[in-house]
């Protein structure tokens, strides 16, 4: 068993830690998947009130960012007439600005304005009867690209040029994980593991003094297991080993064929989510160069002529140790 541990322990993360504190599990559904919060219960916490707050926070995010709901703010923007300016709420603006940042840094491998391609491939609200042909992809590409949208960062307003569809599926889950982490902290829960659809955030420590250990999914016997200590850290995974080839290169409209699984560790689940999507799109050599340049902690399992190749980024390699684990 290989382990990856943070290079530094955050002294502030020890706030409120009590050995033997009761562990509470809360679960539900959101974003077409499930959410799960496991927390060390602090004194005086009303669990039912916390559950309601979690559900309300997730509903507020869905009301803004769901591409499955026609009544969401995102859905309204996608249907808006050319020239319409939309004033963005704080959550929406945070996600959009992060998407712009990762999109620029990745040379367009991540693009939150690629909703036309997502829908065309059948990964939106309506399944596709068949794979899109070259002409259909070409038509959709005319309405794809964050560069087509004007954004006023000072007033947080976004302009619909006409026919461009936003899709936050490569970043919204990560944002929601961060949002729940912030909610828990505000309510005095400083020690918890938050998960939405496989994207995770670890806060503080478990009551037994261990970090929140998470095993990266390793869908091939060619790679040894890797266990991560999520101490003030998040991890997000992309790839095709569960849902098939659903990641689309927004620059070409083609489904990504080479990435079995790619995980990114980051202090922000939102950034881990977006970077996992962007790096999955890129060919392995470009992915490795970009992850190294950005100092990202990455484990990638990519297909090549010999089978499945594992690559560990320098940032993650510095965190890794070999250990015998029962």
Kindly list the structural domains of the chain, giving each domain's residue range(s) and its CATH number in brackets, ordered by start.
1-6+22-326 (3.10.520.10)
Q: Is-contact 234 272, C-beta < 8 A? A: yes
- Whether the per-residue pLDDT at 241 is higher than 70: the answer is no
Q: What is the mean pLDDT of residues 176-189?
A: 97
Between the alpha carbon of residue 278 and those of residues 50, 230, 231, 297, 307, the distances in Å are: 34, 22, 24, 14, 22
The annotation status of 277 as a binding-site residue, yes or no, is: yes
pLDDT at 253: 78
Q: What is the pLDDT of residues 80-122, one digit of tens each?
A: 999 999 999 999 999 999 999 999 999 999 999 999 888 776 6
pLDDT in tens, 121-131: 666 666 665 67
CB proximity list for 251: less than 8 A, separation 6 or greater: 108, 109, 111
What span, in angstroms and rounded, lies between the C-alpha atoms of 58 and 257?
A: 32
Angle at 41 (CA atoms; ends 38, 47), nearest 5 degrees: 80
Report, as an integer, the average pLDDT of 221-244: 82
- Give residue 326's pLDDT band: very low, low, confident or very high (50, 70, 90): very low
Which residue, among 218, 194, 201, has the nearest Cα to 2 in the 3D structure?
218
Look at residue 24 in the predicted model and tell me its pLDDT: 96
β-bridge pairing 23-30 and 33-40: antiparallel
* pLDDT range class, residue 10, cuts 50, 70, 90: confident
Specify the higher pLDDT residue, 323 or 228.
Answer: 228
17-31, 67-81, 230-244: range with lowest mean pLDDT: 230-244
**pLDDT at 67 (0 to 100):** 86
Instruction: Give the span between the Cα atoms of 250 and 140, in whole angstroms.
Output: 10
Lowest-pLDDT choice from 13-22, 73-82, 187-196? 13-22
Dist CA 274 CA 269 (whole Å): 9
> Is the pLDDT reported for residue 323 higher than 80?
no
Task: Please spell the DSSP secondary structure of 199-245, one letter per residue.
Answer: EEEEES--TTS--EEEEPP---TTS--EEEEESSEEEEEE-STTT-S
What's the confidence (pLDDT) of residue 154? 95
The pLDDT assigned to 325 comes to 47
> Where are the alpha helices (H) located in the chain, listed in sequence order?
47-65, 73-79, 90-105, 115-120, 134-141, 172-186, 269-281, 284-293, 314-317
pLDDT band at 235 (very low <50, low <70, confident <90, very high): very high
What pLDDT is attached to residue 128?
60
Res 175 pLDDT > 50: yes
Rounded to an integer, the average pLDDT of 3-32 is 88
Pairing of strands 151-152, 157-160: antiparallel
Mean pLDDT of 45-73: 95
Q: Is 152 annotated as a binding residue?
A: no
Kindly indicate the confidence band of residue 28, based on its pLDDT and cuts at 50, 70 and 90.
very high
The residue to which tokens 């964050």 are assigned: 146
252 has a pLDDT exceeding 60: yes
Which is it for strands 2-4 and 199-203: parallel, antiparallel or unpaired? unpaired
Lowest mean per-residue pLDDT among 85-94, 174-183, 221-230: 221-230
Q: What is the mean pLDDT of residues 239-257?
A: 73
Residue 16 has pLDDT above 70, yes or no: yes
| 3-state SS, residue 261 | strand
Q: What is the pLDDT of residue 276?
A: 96
Q: Kindly tell me if the per-residue pLDDT of 245 is higher than 60.
A: no
What pLDDT, on the 0 to 100 scale, is given for residue 17? 83
Q: Do the annotations mark residue 322 as ligand-binding?
A: no
Q: pLDDT exceeding 90 applies to what percent of the chain?
A: 70
Query: What is the phi/psi pair of residue 148, to 5°?
Result: -80, -15
The predicted pLDDT at position 125 comes to: 65
Residues 267-282 have pLDDT tens digits of 999 999 999 999 999 9
Per-residue pLDDT at 295? 97
């Amino acid at each position: 068993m290989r382990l990856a541990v943070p290079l530094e322990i955050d002294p502030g993360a020890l706030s409120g830690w009590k050995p033997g504190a009761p562990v509470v599990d809360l679960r539900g559904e959101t974003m077409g998947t499930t959410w799960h919060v496991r927390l060390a219960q602090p004194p005086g916490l009303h669990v039912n009130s916390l559950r309601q707050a979690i559900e309300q926070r997730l509903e507020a995010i869905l009301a803004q960012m769901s591409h499955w709901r026609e009544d969401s703010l995102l859905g309204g923007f996608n249907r808006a007439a050319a020239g319409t300016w939309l004033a963005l709420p704080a959550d929406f603006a945070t996600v959009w600005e992060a998407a712009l940042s990762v999109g620029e840094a990745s040379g367009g491998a991540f693009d939150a304005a690629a909703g036309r391609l997502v829908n065309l491939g059948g990964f939106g609200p309506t399944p596709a009867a068949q794979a899109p042909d070259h002409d259909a992809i070409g038509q959709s590409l005319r309405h794809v690209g964050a560069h087509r949208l004007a954004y006023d960062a000072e007033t947080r307003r976004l302009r619909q040029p006409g026919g461009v569809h936003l899709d936050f599926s490569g970043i919204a889950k990560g944002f929601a994980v961060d949002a729940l982490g912030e909610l828990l902290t505000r309510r005095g829960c400083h020690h918890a593991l938050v998960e939405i659809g496989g994207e995770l955030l670890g806060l503080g420590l478990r009551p037994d003094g261990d970090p929140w250990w998470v095993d990266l999914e390793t869908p091939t016997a060619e790679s040894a297991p890797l266990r991560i200590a999520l101490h003030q850290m998040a991890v997000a995974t992309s790839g095709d080993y569960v849902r098939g080839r659903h990641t689309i290169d927004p620059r070409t409209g083609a489904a990504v064929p080479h990435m079995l699984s790619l995980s990114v560790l980051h202090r922000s689940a939102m950034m881990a989510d977006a970077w996992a999507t962007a790096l999955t799109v890129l060919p392995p050599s470009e992915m490795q160069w970009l992850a190294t340049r950005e100092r990202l902690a990455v484990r990638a399992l990519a297909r090549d002529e010999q089978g499945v190749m594992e690559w560990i980024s320098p940032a993650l390699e510095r965190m890794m140790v070999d250990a015998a684990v029962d």
